[in-house]
Chains A and B, each alone.
Chain A
Amino acid sequence: GQQLNQSPQSMFIQEGEDVSMNCTSSSIFNTWLWYKQDPGEGPVLLIALYKAGELTSNGRLTAQFGITRKDSFLNISASIPSDVGIYFCAGQVEYGQNFVFGPGTRLSVLP
């Protein structure tokens, strides 16, 4: 079945730095979703992308739907301590099919 890869697996950054992470697949996707999960909590939807090339922002977060439709990128600008958590991508190959989830990128922000 389809698999999603996320990189990096984990990252440590200084507060105030910008962050970039990506999600890749060998399959073409119609939809990309980005979630953040705090320890012991459920994933919270950050950004949804529905068209190739689409660039969408949510505050300091910006995500892009890759032109090839096989990848997506999430950027966080000027990181703050509450950005700590695991960031998941999810992709959907066709409408009506179940979403596939990536393994997550664990972000740590050092003061």
Chain B
Amino acid sequence: DVKVTQSSRYLVKRTGEKVFLECVQDMDHENMFWYRQDPGLGLRLIYFSYDVKMKEKGDIPEGYSVSREKKERFSLILESASTNQTSMYLCASSFAFGPQETQYFGPGTRLLVL
């Protein structure tokens, strides 16, 4: 079974704080993704990574950065949290780009920025 875990299920932070969201997968997947999910807007891709130390911007990277120092771990960083970053954050991983790629999601982190 593929397992994607996220460090926190719920987080409450104050405006201006630096926030770290951690994601770990145990299936030796090459690719890892960070999405945010908001009502009416669906899933939007923030950043993804296809290898250690590699990162690519998704559709909405502004206000975020990422780190991938180890293959199994992908971190999302909010350098200075703002209220409009209150959202559900979902991490996903997939084996590799190519035929039959399938993304598996973690349980999500619900972030509230006050």
Contact = CB atoms under 8 A, between A and B. Distances in A.
Contacts of B105: 35, 42-45
A31 B100 CA distance: 7
Interface stretch (B12-20, B42-50, B66-74): B42-50
Contacts, number: 48
B106 A42 contact: yes
B102 A40 contact: no
A102 B103 CA distance: 15
A8 B106 CA distance: 26
Interface string A20-42: 00000000001101010000111
B102 A42 contact: no
Interface of B: 4, 6, 33, 40, 42-43, 45, 48, 58, 90, 97-108, 110
